[in-house]
Structure 1
């Protein structure tokens, strides 16, 4: 009997997969690949098709068209019971009348695995998620974060080729979400698991993923590494959805190699040109790239409309000639009150986006 988990990770591949419910198309000709041993996140707003896509990997929904592969196996028509996949649900889906140990061992119990082996595997799973010694408790005696770990352990012990997470942290508070997502990522890396993860939380997706697949209106808007999506968004939607961005009209004045000389309201910056030609463009300016100084300091003249102290930084809403700007300022000892006049400059966290319309 194996005493470790992992080692059977498989890739996932969608080839022009469509899922329709009557006349409603939930997923429209989607193609992507998740490498074995990597973590990919399906990210997008509610109703974009990400959860339906995840359920098609699991076999909980069967595709209307296209092909799905797990490893070298075409699983398009196979039900969930014939796919080597485990899923961790948003609601945890623990049996309230069973102990933690019984919940984790449930998959072995229903498959007829000897009790001693099932218990040993469950104990190994609980130890892996930091819950050694919790086996005799009921789920109601655990915190939300601990219940989520039990759900993860129950999925892990089955050693699936692919492990799926459906909004796993949405029921946790912000501080606990950060800790549990780090634990999930650590387990995934240490065991070399293939994980497909669904969330609508951009920060969560950027923090845990090798690849992020952004979905919009049942299709893929863009896929890439977190850095690629943040720094090189394909269009207005991705720029606005991945992290906070101030989207303002700008003009490329000239291009020199990989850099473009860009005018934003008359203030010039040099940023990666992304192969775009001279002319009108959209600039996605990250909040930390808006630099505020006292009046008379050059740049654009603006006025602070709102100011908020958030401990590690200050957040401002600033009226400017190029529109309302959201600003994050780490200089907490130099606050600027609402109504204060400021000079606005721009740093280098600016991404040019092809569509300015």
Structure 2
């Protein structure tokens, strides 16, 4: 037996959520989530991402607007009438039940016979790499294994949409990497529609087909991980998605869609992004600063840190500090060294004001 996916798209049409009289949690959000994709809602605390997830689940009701799952308008439906499953941050396993009983719990209310319930639960455990763990209690499992049980319990219900609310926050760094890879592999193998909430940028970049960056109850930018990393729409997204140096520059000329910028005596050509001549700012990733470039601007090494696989440097220039990384760990630069800093071929991006 193989679990079949009933993956469905999710649509938010001008959805607003207000708590009480005036607490705006989600503000006129329009969002299309394709069937079979993993979409992450990413943002700082209080941005509206968890409220958005809970409105898909039916745990919160929209104040206005429409929410569709597949072709069905679920805006006013209670959670029990929506074909979704949710994996919580706390796992929410029953401590007195075995792993198999925990995974079977939801199935026992779905009209399946005892034998089919057992079979489906065993398939679910196999899918998450826990074959043979069915007789154990949650207390006999590691944190990562408990999270997999919670995933299996959600999977066996074959939901149209599978929801994850900060699923890895209780795990250590090594386990987080492993479990996020497991979740991504299962989602892709089964073609599930997954909506995933996190505040961890690296986690979002690692698992997502698409990322929805939220800020102040609204959507700041939607795109693939690479689109958001390489072409953030503004300073907030640039600074929030991975690390970015926000540097001042001057746009000296614009020709078509290309601009020539200047930092001190250094000139560099890049996409103009609709900007015109004059003062501007740009974002450049630490790995795209080239220390020791033949052409560039002047800086001094203020701090050098060895972190195993790379060197991390804080550089001081006339306009402020920058953070840069280098793979060469065998010949690190000494603090106080004067260097020339340039940009990699795929280097900075100009940022619209705001």
Shared fold, TM over 0.5: yes
What are the equivalent positions in structure 2 for 1:302-317 lying under 5 Å apart?
302-317=299-314
Q: Is the 8 A contact 1:185 1:208 kept in 2?
A: yes
How far off is 1:112 after superposition? 4.4
How far apart in 2 are the matches of 1:328 and 1:58? 42
Residues 124-133 or 226-235, more deviating: 226-235
1:8 matched residue in structure 2: 6
How far apart in 2 are the matches of 1:52 and 1:62? 9
How far off is 1:78 after superposition? 0.3
How far apart in 2 are the matches of 1:114 and 1:198? 34
Q: Secondary structure at the match of 1:68?
A: strand
What are the equivalent positions in structure 2 for 1:113-262 lying under 5 Å apart?
113-262=112-261
Q: Is the 8 A contact 1:14 1:68 kept in 2?
A: yes
- 5+ residue gaps, structure 1, are none
Residues 76-85 or 166-175, more deviating: 166-175
2:343 matched residue in structure 1: 346
How far off is 1:253 after superposition? 1.9
Q: Is the 8 A contact 2:5 2:159 kept in 1?
A: no
1:271 matched residue in structure 2: 270
2:286 matched residue in structure 1: 287
Q: Is the 8 A contact 1:6 1:193 kept in 2?
A: no
Aligned length: 352
Q: Is the 8 A contact 1:6 1:192 kept in 2?
A: no
1:319 matched residue in structure 2: 316
1:75 matched residue in structure 2: 74
How far off is 1:174 after superposition? 1.3
Q: Is the 8 A contact 2:263 2:297 kept in 1?
A: no
Deviations 1:171-227 (A, max 9, x none): 111121111111111111111100000000111111111111000000000111111
Q: Is the 8 A contact 2:266 2:295 kept in 1?
A: no
How far off is 1:353 after superposition? 0.7
How far apart in 1 are the matches of 2:185 and 2:276? 43
Residues 314-323 or 160-169, more deviating: 314-323
Q: Secondary structure at the match of 1:302?
A: strand
Q: Judging changes above 3 Å, is the alpha-carbon distance between structure 1 residues 223 and 298 closer, same or farther for their aligned structure 2 residues?
A: closer
How far apart in 1 are the matches of 2:198 and 2:53? 11
How far apart in 2 are the matches of 1:213 and 1:265? 36
TM-score by length of 2: 0.96
TM-score by length of 1: 0.95
Are 1:329 and 2:303 matched, yes or no?
A: no
How far off is 1:298 after superposition? 5.2
1:105 matched residue in structure 2: 104
Residues 70-79 or 174-183, more deviating: 174-183
How far apart in 1 are the matches of 2:255 and 2:110? 65
Q: What CA RMSD, in Å, does the superposition of the two structures yield over aligned residues?
A: 1.4
Q: Secondary structure at the match of 1:251?
A: strand
Q: Is the 8 A contact 2:290 2:341 kept in 1?
A: yes
